[in-house]
Chains A and B, each alone.
Chain A
Amino acid sequence: MKVLVAIKRVIDPYVKIRVKSDGSGVETNNVKMSMNPFCEIAVEEAVRLKEAGVADEVIVVSAGEINCQEQLRTALALGADRAIHIEAETGLEPITVAKALQSVMEREQPRLVLMGKQSIDTDNNQVAQMLSALTQLPQGTFASEVIIKGDAVTVTREIDGGLETLSLTLPAIISTDLRLNEPRYASLPNIMKAKKKPMEQLTVAELGVDIVRHQEVIEVMPPPERQGGVRVASVSELVDKLKNEAKVI
């Protein structure tokens, strides 16, 4: 079975971001970039499926500028077999990414597509659902457990108030939640080996996708700053403040 994993290059989750003063966006120059944490989980799950003998090939794909090949190499070092880089400007909209992935799916015919439930930069949480709609395939979003048996995949989903289990007919699209697995680190020999693994380059145009501007970001602003308050010295002072000053208890 062929598994396709879509990944994204984002600002590292532990970086404190800075909003540009002209309101045009967030500073990305000289900022540490990483693979989106949810995407790492998707890669890990695909590699585990390969190790379990369920998947025989894992393909990673990413859309963006040339430097997102770094993250594709990371995925190859983690155990993916080959990579596809879709050359595009940074900041493609989710619907456009979904269309590009749909086109990749038509070429590669994977039985399973894995991706993170959301990227931690734009926080959209859309691409997997959109891809499922475009391909008319079933979706298992926010997955915390994935079990493949024959022609079906059982997905346990994290929902508000608990868990839900669905059975999807393959091929299917799955988006990963944080609890699905604990991603491994790439070893140095594997990083070296990853350099020799194949990386195909495609453009959005070659995939037959038109870039339509559905949305425009008018301004990016820092959020209203929250004032740090006071330190209290004792529990009784805290209770007094909550009762008489904040009036919340």
Chain B
Amino acid sequence: MATLIIAEHNNVSLSPDTLKVVNAAMALSPSVSVLVAGARCRAVADEVGKVTGVAEVLLADNAVYEHQLAESLSALIAEVAQRYTHILAPATTFGKNLLPRVAALLDVGQLSDVIQIKNADTVIRPIYAGNALAAVKSNDPIKVITIRCAAFEPAQEQDTQVASVSELDIVVANDMTQFVSKQAVESERPELAVARVVVSGGRGLGNSESFALVEKLADKLGGAIGASRAAVDAGFVSNDLQVGQTGKIVAPELYIAVGISGAIQHLAGMKDSKVIVAINSDPDAPIFQIADYGLVGDLFELLPELIDSL
């Protein structure tokens, strides 16, 4: 068994999600290879070399990989893939964009958003917005898998470099796709997907000004802010904060849902949180059926009180 993990990074540092994929891969083999493809990203390869469980780092450092476009990266990975039985990446927008293209180039299927690796060919993955779990067996010679990061703990990083870094000189240019721009949402708060505490607001907040209450509470708890689709559609916050089947999947230690009714779509994104708190004026809101602690009442009275008492 030989596992290759595709590292997600920004050419400067490794994403925490990649560490979780390394850990998930330990169910397959005690040591894995990691491919770092990008431009001027040697530092990332060195960082990967310090991760427990990583035996080998492959570095494809070339200007053509700078924006990690799927057209170039998939061809590079497909060429390297023949030496491996398993190709893994995080089920982030990076991994979701890239890996199915790799799978098709290899003429194999893909196992998406896996929450548990049972053995070399069988995994568990959620379907129907997490309302069912499927045990799926792959018959393919190379298993292409994306990992739902919220379901795994991160692998540890050590102080010293353990794995060797070998450079690949495969260059796949691509003249079909050009990177134009990236608009990152800057935030002082922890990243939504990896935060220990998430405070989410929904339609019940009424307008974008009221969302400041959610932000204040999140800041008091050192948490990230999230939102329901209704809050995003109403324009309260930008959509990268959306938690749910079509947004981000989170599993923090504490999830506080404020003014969120708890539609199936939203629950799919947060129901694996360790402790769920719901604050809602509607005592019949479905969110109360899964909340560990429910508080019924006017959130414009309750939230300031909660913020003050912390």
Contact = CB atoms under 8 A, between A and B. Distances in A.
Do chains A and B interact in one complex? yes
Interface of A: 11, 13-14, 16-17, 19, 26, 38, 93-95, 98, 120-134, 137-139, 141-142, 144, 154, 157-169, 172, 177-179, 213-223, 226, 228-232, 234-236, 238-239, 241-242, 246, 248-249
B129 interface: yes
A215 B109 contact: yes
Q: Of A94, A137, A159, which is in contact with the most chain B CB atoms at under 10 Å from its CB?
A: A159
B253 to A, nearest CB: 5
Nearest to A223: B133
B70 interface: yes
Contact of A215 (B74, B136, B289, B305): B136
Tell me whether chain A's interface is mostly helix, strand or loop, or mixed: mixed
A215 B139 contact: yes
B288 A228 contact: yes
A161 B292 CA distance: 29
Contacts of B128: 11, 17, 26, 120-121, 123
Interface of B: 69-71, 74, 92-94, 96-105, 107-113, 122, 126-140, 174-185, 191, 193, 197, 221, 229, 232, 239-240, 245-246, 248, 253-254, 264-265, 271, 274-277, 288-296, 302, 305-306, 309-310
Across the A-B interface, give the 9 residue pairs with the lowest CB-CB distance, nearest first: A214-B109, A229-B292, A129-B100, A133-B104, A130-B104, A126-B100, A138-B176, A165-B180, A248-B254
27 contacts: A17-B128, A94-B109, A95-B110, A123-B126, A124-B110, A132-B70, A132-B101, A133-B100, A157-B97, A161-B240, A162-B183, A162-B185, A166-B179, A166-B180, A167-B178, A214-B108, A215-B111, A215-B136, A215-B139, A218-B135, A219-B135, A226-B276, A230-B293, A242-B275, A242-B277, A248-B274, A248-B275
A13 B229 CA distance: 14
A164 B181 contact: yes
A150 to B, nearest CB: 14
B289 A228 contact: yes
A95 B108 contact: yes
B254 to A, nearest CB: 4
Contacts, number: 248
Tell me whether chain B's interface is mostly helix, strand or loop, or mixed: mixed
Q: Of B93, B112, B276, which is in contact with the most chain A CB atoms at under 10 Å from its CB?
A: B93
Given A124-B112, A125-B100, A221-B132, 8 more contacts: A126-B112, A130-B101, A154-B180, A160-B193, A165-B179, A168-B178, A215-B139, A238-B306
B240 A249 contact: no
Contacts of A144: 239
B297 to A, nearest CB: 9
A125 to B, nearest CB: 5
Contacts of A159: 93-94, 182
A138 B101 CA distance: 11
A239 B296 CA distance: 14
A235 B305 contact: yes
Nearest to B90: A160
Contacts of A125: 96, 100, 112-113
Contacts of A163: 182-183, 240
Nearest to A233: B295
Contacts of A218: 122, 135-137
Given A122-B127, A124-B110, A130-B103, A238 B277 contact: yes
Given A163-B182, A215-B109, A232 B294 contact: yes
A212 B271 CA distance: 35
Nearest to B187: A161
Contacts of A246: 254, 275, 292-293
B290 A226 contact: yes
A242 B293 contact: yes
A165 to B, nearest CB: 4
A137 B306 contact: no
A229 B137 contact: no
Nearest to A213: B139
A169 B176 contact: yes
Contact of B130 (A172, A223, A234, A241): A223
Nearest to A230: B293
Nearest to A226: B290
A229 B295 CA distance: 11
A137 B105 contact: no
A102 to B, nearest CB: 9
A14 B263 CA distance: 9
Contacts of B98: 129
B139 A178 contact: no
